């Protein structure tokens, strides 16, 4: 066994990535405090070839030194927009036919492993590291999903959570 060198990985160029077909998944970041978390989500969105990121509220936007530190160039490949109001952002997505899915612990949450969006366009909303998603969007949601957890803590870092959810849904879409 040997580790592969970068040139052995066969990665596509930024230009080829931008021109490629993406999975119909939009990542919405609702008031993410840490620019490092935002950068990590950019990198994960690139890794799974998702449609775009919508940054809302206090979420940092490129260019940002902290985003760049964890995104490692993904801000150049992943399409993104900034919308101040999370309500406005999700309303536009809903009007464009996206299923609005919060990644949040609610009284109606479905476990991630049981969630199957049937290749439908979805907008996954990840909330603030302390407060979760904004209460204002609860009535607009179509679904809520959560990751099963078994320890004493009942939350994950938002970038870790995004990595798990985006990997799982990427695999689900690619198998359909």
Please state the rounded mean pLDDT for residues 21-39: 98
Question: Hey, what domains does the chain have and what are their CATH numbers?
Answer: 24-147+154-175 (3.40.1280.10)
Asked if residue 74 lies in contact with residue 114, where contact means CB atoms within 8 angstroms, the answer is no
Report residue 176's pLDDT band, with 50, 70 and 90 as the boundaries.
Answer: confident
> Over 90: is that where the pLDDT of 72 sits?
yes
Q: pTM, whole model, 2 decimals?
A: 0.96
Please state the rounded mean pLDDT for residues 92-118: 97
Please state the rounded mean pLDDT for residues 148-165: 96
Kindly state the percentage of the chain with pLDDT values over 70: 100
> Over 90: is that where the pLDDT of 118 sits?
no
Task: Write out pLDDT tens, residues 12-23.
Answer: 999 999 999 999
pLDDT for res 74 = 97
Mean pLDDT of the chain: 96
Report residue 6's pLDDT band, with 50, 70 and 90 as the boundaries.
Answer: confident
């Amino acid at each position: 066994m040997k580790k592969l060198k970068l040139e052995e990985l066969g990665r596509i160029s930024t230009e080829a990535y931008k021109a490629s077909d993406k999975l119909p998944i939009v990542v919405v970041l609702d008031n993410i405090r840490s620019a490092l978390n935002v950068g990590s989500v950019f990198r994960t969105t690139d890794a799974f070839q998702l449609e775009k990121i919508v940054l809302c509220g206090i979420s940092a936007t490129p260019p940002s030194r902290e985003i760049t530190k964890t995104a490692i160039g993904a801000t150049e490949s992943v399409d993104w927009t900034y919308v101040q109001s999370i309500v406005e952002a999700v309303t536009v997505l809903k009007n464009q036919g996206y299923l609005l899915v919060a990644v949040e612990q609610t009284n109606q949450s479905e476990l991630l492993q049981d969630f199957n969006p049937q290749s439908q366009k979805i907008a996954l909303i990840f909330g603030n590291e302390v407060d979760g998603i904004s209460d204002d969007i609860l009535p607009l949601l179509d679904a809520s999903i959560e990751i099963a957890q078994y320890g004493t803590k009942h939350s994950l870092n938002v970038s870790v959570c995004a990595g798990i959810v985006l990997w799982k849904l990427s695999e689900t879409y690619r198998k359909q």
